[in-house]
C-alpha cells in the first residue's frame, strides 16, 4: 500500500499576539528551522523554542504556554512517541496536555508560537498525536485507551469529528504511539502491553472504522512511523535488547511483515525517526543513551548501518524522544535524564556524528515531546 500521495494542508491565517517569555529576536536572522520541546509540567505546560542554525546548533528563543497542564513526573512519564508534533508544512504545532485532558494548537512563525486554542481530547490522559492534511488524531492512554479525531480548520483551530472516537483492542493496552498513512486512509496505533498493532480505516469525513488488530512481529512495540512510500517502521522496546520491524500495510488493514525484528543493539529502543527521503531510519535507545541506524530497502526491508549503533549521547542522557530536521541533515534527541537536547549531524550515506548537547532543561523533570523542522 505504498503511496506517493502528496497531502494538502489547508491554508491558515496566522493570528497576532504571542504567548512568550522570550524576545523572539533570533527569528529574523535565521530562516533555517526550529526545534520545540515540551515541558509536560503538571502546572502550566510549556513549549521551549529554539532557532536552528545552518550548522545544526540551537539558540533558545522563547517559552510558550500551552494553556493546559501536563502530567509532571520524572523521565518519560507519558510513555509515548509524538506528544508534540508539527504539521506537514511546519506552520502549525500541536501539543497534548495530559493533566488537563486537552490538545493545544499553535501557529508557527520561525520559532515563535501563537496559541490558537485548546480542545478536549476525547478521552483521558492524551499522550500522542498524528497529523496529515486537515486531520489530527489524538491517542488517549488513560483507562484502556482510545483514539479520537479532529478536523484542522483553516485558521488552525481544532474541530472534533463525529464518530471518530474508537476503543483499542481490549483492556490495559498501554498504547504508546499512532501514525497516519501517507495517503491519509489508515491510522495505526501501537499497544506496548498487548504486543498488538491496531489499524483503523479513515473514512472521507475523518470518522474511523472499528479496530482491526494485528500481532506485532517484535516484542513491546512502541514508536510507529510511516516512511514516505507507506512502509510502517516500528521500534520495539524488547526487554534488554531492542529491535525494529517493518511492515507493508495492505488495503484490508492487515500488516505484512517485511523485516520481523532486527536487533538495535541498544536497550530501551522506543522512539524512531525516518529520513525525509525515506532511505534511513534511526531509533533512540533510552537505556543506553545512543542511536541505532538502518537503511530502508526498496521493498521496505531493514539493514543495519555499519555496526548498527551509529552515535551516542553522553552516558546517563536517557534520550527518550527524537526528531529530524526538514532537510534530513540533523537529528535531535530529548535527553530526559540529563535535561538537555542532543545534536547530531547526518551525512548523505546515513552515517551520524554526535555534535553537542544544549542544556537548560530540568533533569528528570518530566520532559516529553520534541519536534523539529
Each residue's pLDDT tens digit, 105-163: 999 999 999 999 999 999 999 999 999 999 999 999 999 999 999 999 998 999 999 99
User: With contact defined as beta carbons under 8 Å apart, do 138 and 206 qualify?
Assistant: no
The answer to whether residue 367 is domain-embedded is no
The answer to whether residue 22 is domain-embedded is no
Its pTM stands at 0.91
Round to whole Å and give the CA distance between 284 and 328: 16
The answer to whether residue 336 is domain-embedded is no
Quote the Cα angle for 50-14-373, to 5°. Answer: 35
Give the three cell numbers for residue 200: 483503523
Q: How many domains does the chain have?
A: 1
Instruction: Determine phi and psi for 25, rounding to 5 degrees.
Output: -75, -20
Round to whole Å and give the CA distance between 126 and 100: 9
* HSE-CB for 235 with a 13 A CA cutoff: 35
The contacts of residue 138 (CB under 8 Å, 6+ apart) are 96, 103, 121, 122, 123, 126, 128, 129, 147, 148, 149, 150
Report the length, in residues, of the chain. 373
* Range(s) of the domain holding residue 207: 71-318
Give the three cell numbers for residue 189: 496505533
What is the pLDDT tens value at each position of the chain, 373 positions in all? 443 333 333 333 333 333 333 334 434 445 689 999 999 999 999 999 999 999 999 999 999 999 999 999 999 999 999 999 999 999 999 999 999 999 999 999 999 999 999 999 999 999 999 999 999 999 999 999 999 999 999 989 999 999 999 999 999 999 999 999 999 999 999 999 999 999 999 999 999 999 999 999 999 999 999 999 999 999 999 888 999 999 999 999 999 999 999 999 999 999 999 999 999 999 999 999 999 999 999 999 999 999 999 999 999 999 999 999 999 999 999 999 999 999 999 999 999 999 999 999 999 999 999 999 9
Q: Per-residue pLDDT tens for 240-274?
A: 899 999 999 999 999 999 999 999 999 999 999 99
- Among 102, 42, 96, smallest CA distance to 69 is for 42
CATH of residue 191: 2.130.10.10
The pLDDT score that the predictor gives to residue 51 is 98
The answer to whether residue 86 is domain-embedded is yes
Give the three cell numbers for residue 340: 538537555
Displacement of CA 35 from its chain's centroid (Å): 13
Round to whole Å and give the CA distance between 138 and 178: 8
The pLDDT score that the predictor gives to residue 114 is 98
The answer to whether residue 134 is domain-embedded is yes
Residue with cell 476503543: 167
The answer to whether residue 193 is domain-embedded is yes
Give the three cell numbers for residue 283: 531509533
The answer to whether residue 96 is domain-embedded is yes
The contacts of residue 76 (CB under 8 Å, 6+ apart) are 286, 318, 320, 336, 368
User: With contact defined as beta carbons under 8 Å apart, do 368 and 76 qualify?
Assistant: yes
User: With contact defined as beta carbons under 8 Å apart, do 196 and 189 qualify?
Assistant: no
The answer to whether residue 91 is domain-embedded is yes
The contacts of residue 180 (CB under 8 Å, 6+ apart) are 130, 131, 132, 135, 137, 186, 187, 188, 202, 226
Amino acid at each position: 500500500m505504498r503511496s506517493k500521495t502528496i497531502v494538502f494542508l489547508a491554508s491558515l491565517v496566522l493570528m497576532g499576539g504571542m504567548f512568550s517569555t522570550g524576545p523572539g529576536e533570533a527569528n529574523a536572522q535565521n530562516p533555517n528551522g526550529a526545534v520545540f520541546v515540551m515541558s509536560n509540567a503538571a502546572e502550566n505546560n510549556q513549549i521551549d523554542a529554539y532557532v536552528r542554525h545552518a550548522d545544526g546548533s540551537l539558540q533558545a528563543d522563547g517559552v510558550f504556554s500551552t494553556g493546559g497542564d501536563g502530567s509532571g513526573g520524572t523521565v518519560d512519564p507519558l510513555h509515548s512517541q509524538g506528544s508534540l508534533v508539527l504539521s506537514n508544512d511546519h506552520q502549525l504545532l500541536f501539543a497534548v496536555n495530559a493533566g488537563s485532558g486537552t490538545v493545544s494548537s499553535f501557529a508557527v512563525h520561525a520559532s515563535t508560537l501563537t496559541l490558537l486554542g485548546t480542545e478536549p481530547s476525547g478521552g483521558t490522559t492524551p499522550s500522542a498525536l498524528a497529523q496529515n492534511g486537515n486531520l489530527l488524531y489524538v491517542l488517549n492512554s488513560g483507562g484502556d485507551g482510545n483514539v479520537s479525531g479532529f478536523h484542522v480548520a483553516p485558521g488552525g483551530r481544532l474541530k472534533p469529528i463525529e464518530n471518530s472516537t474508537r476503543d483499542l483492542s481490549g483492556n490495559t493496552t498501554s498504547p504508546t504511539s499512532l501514525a497516519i498513512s501517507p495517503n491519509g486512509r489508515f491510522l495505526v496505533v501501537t499497544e506496548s502491553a498487548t504486543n498488538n498493532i491496531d489499524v483503523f480505516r479513515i473514512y472521507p469525513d475523518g470518522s474511523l472504522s472499528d479496530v482491526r488488530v494485528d500481532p506485532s512481529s517484535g516484542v513491546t512495540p512502541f514508536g510507529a512511523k510511516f516512511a514516505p512510500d507507506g512502509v510502517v517502521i516500528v521500534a520495539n522496546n524488547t526487554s534488554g535488547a531492542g529491535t525494529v520491524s517493518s511492515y507493508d500495510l495492505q488495503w484490508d488493514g492487515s500488516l505484512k511483515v517485511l523485516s520481523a525484528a532486527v536487533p538495535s543493539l541498544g536497550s530501551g529502543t522506543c522512539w524512531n525517526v525516518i529520513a525525509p527521503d525515506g532511505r534511513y531510519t534511526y531509533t533512540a535507545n533510552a537505556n543506553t543513551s545512543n542511536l541505532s541506524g538502518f537503511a530502508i530497502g526498496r521493498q521496505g526491508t531493514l539493514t543495519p548501518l555499519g555496526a548498527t549503533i551509529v552515535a551516542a549521547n553522553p552516558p546517563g542522557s536517557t534520550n527518550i524522544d527524537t526528531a529530524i530536521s526538514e532537510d534530513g541533515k540533523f537529528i535531535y534527541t530529548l535527553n530526559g535524564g540529563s535535561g538537555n537536547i542532543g545534536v547530531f549531524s547526518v551525512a548523505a550515506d546515513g552515517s551520524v556524528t554526535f555534535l553537542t548537547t544544549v542544556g537548560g532543561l530540568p533533569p528528570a523533570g518530566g520532559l516529553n515531546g520534541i519536534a523539529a523542522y
